[in-house]
């Protein structure tokens, strides 16, 4: 069940302590020195989430992948840097230069992690909206058969969720429908549709929109089937065009699972509710 109440996110709550970042970097460097490449790559990923504007971390993560023999992932990580269109300065220019040089020397020429991950458009002819969503998710080519039931279930859970009227019930329902569409785009790896759920100026804390899109594409494309469920969803509308949505997000893909509180700041632009800010902790 959804309940409606006021929700506020303090800026201080969105920032992780600098001590955690430093500790993560120390662990990553130690892992690199000990030739624990996979561990180092994961730690650089974590550090990059704390400070997404530090592209040297992505470069080091790519190096860890390359040392570990994961050339496809290294190639894609270098490509994220190249495609990010970073602001021109001495540090960024050097990072991009190294990314291009190391990518070329890796000898890897393709991007298997990204090929064929965007599903073909599905023409759905059914009177049932719930069946249409389930059909769209279940037809994603890259997802393994044994993962399909969990993804279908995740979509169904979101469809079955009810909302408690908050004085703006109609708008609440539209927002809920938008969340369902966002989940479907994410789990089916439909990148154009996924990006379209965000405002045009959304960058996810990165220097440019292109950098954010490239980073999200690499992260989503490289994993297998995705299970995503939202629990305790709360919608609070401060005006006719602004709303805050908070919920507990349960994410699983392969052997990886995480759970945390997510807050979406949303704006109604030209009749559509779009995500203008996204915080996960």
For the entire predicted model, the pTM comes to: 0.49
pLDDT digits (tens, 9 = 90+) for 70-124: 888 888 888 888 888 888 898 989 999 998 988 888 777 654 433 333 444 444 4
Domain positions in the chain are 11-106, 129-280
pLDDT digits (tens, 9 = 90+) for 198-241: 999 999 888 889 999 998 998 898 888 899 889 999 999 888 89
- pLDDT, averaged across the chain: 75
Same fold, 11-106 and 129-280: no
Q: What was the pLDDT predicted at 69?
A: 84
Integer Cα distance of 25 and 273 in angstroms: 38
Which of these, 177, 199, 171, 196, lies nearest to 186 by C-alpha position? 196
Q: Is the pLDDT of residue 137 over 80?
A: no
pLDDT digits (tens, 9 = 90+) for 6-39: 433 333 444 445 788 888 889 989 988 888 989 9
Which of these, 179, 185, 195, lies nearest to 262 by C-alpha position? 179
Q: What was the pLDDT predicted at 231?
A: 92
- Topology of 11-106 in CATH? 1.25.40
Q: What was the pLDDT predicted at 242?
A: 93
Integer Cα distance of 74 and 231 in angstroms: 35
The CATH architecture that domain 129-280 belongs to is Roll (3.10)
Is 77:58 a contact under the CB 8 Å cutoff?
yes
Integer Cα distance of 263 and 260 in angstroms: 10
């Amino acid at each position: 069940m959804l309940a409606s109440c006021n929700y506020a996110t303090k800026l201080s709550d969105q920032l992780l302590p600098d001590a955690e970042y430093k500790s993560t970097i120390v662990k990553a460097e130690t892992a690199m020195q000990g030739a624990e490449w996979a561990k180092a790559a994961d730690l650089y990923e974590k550090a990059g989430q704390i400070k997404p504007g530090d592209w040297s971390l992505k470069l080091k993560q790519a190096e860890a992948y390359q040392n570990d023999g994961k050339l496809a992932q290294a190639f894609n990580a270098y490509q994220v840097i190249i495609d990010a269109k970073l602001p021109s300065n001495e540090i960024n220019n050097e990072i991009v230069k190294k990314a291009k040089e190391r990518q070329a020397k890796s000898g890897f020429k393709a991007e298997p992690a990204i090929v064929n991950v965007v599903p073909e458009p599905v023409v759905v002819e059914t009177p049932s909206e719930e069946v249409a969503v389930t059909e769209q998710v279940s037809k994603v080519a890259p997802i393994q058969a044994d993962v399909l039931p969990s993804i279908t279930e995740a979509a169904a859970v979101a469809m079955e969720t009810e909302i408690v009227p908050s004085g703006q019930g109609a708008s609440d329902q539209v927002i809920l429908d938008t969340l369902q569409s966002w989940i479907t785009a994410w789990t089916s790896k439909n990148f154009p549709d996924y990006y379209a759920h965000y405002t045009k100026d959304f960058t996810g804390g990165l220097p440019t929109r292109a950098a954010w899109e490239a980073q999200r594409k690499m992260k989503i494309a490289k994993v297998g089937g995705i299970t995503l469920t939202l629990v305790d969803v709360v919608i609070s509308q401060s005006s006719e065009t602004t709303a805050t949505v908070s919920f507990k997000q349960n994410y699983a893909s392969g052997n990886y699972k995480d759970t945390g509180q997510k807050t979406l700041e949303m704006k109604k632009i030209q009749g559509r509710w779009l995500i203008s800010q996204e915080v996960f902790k």
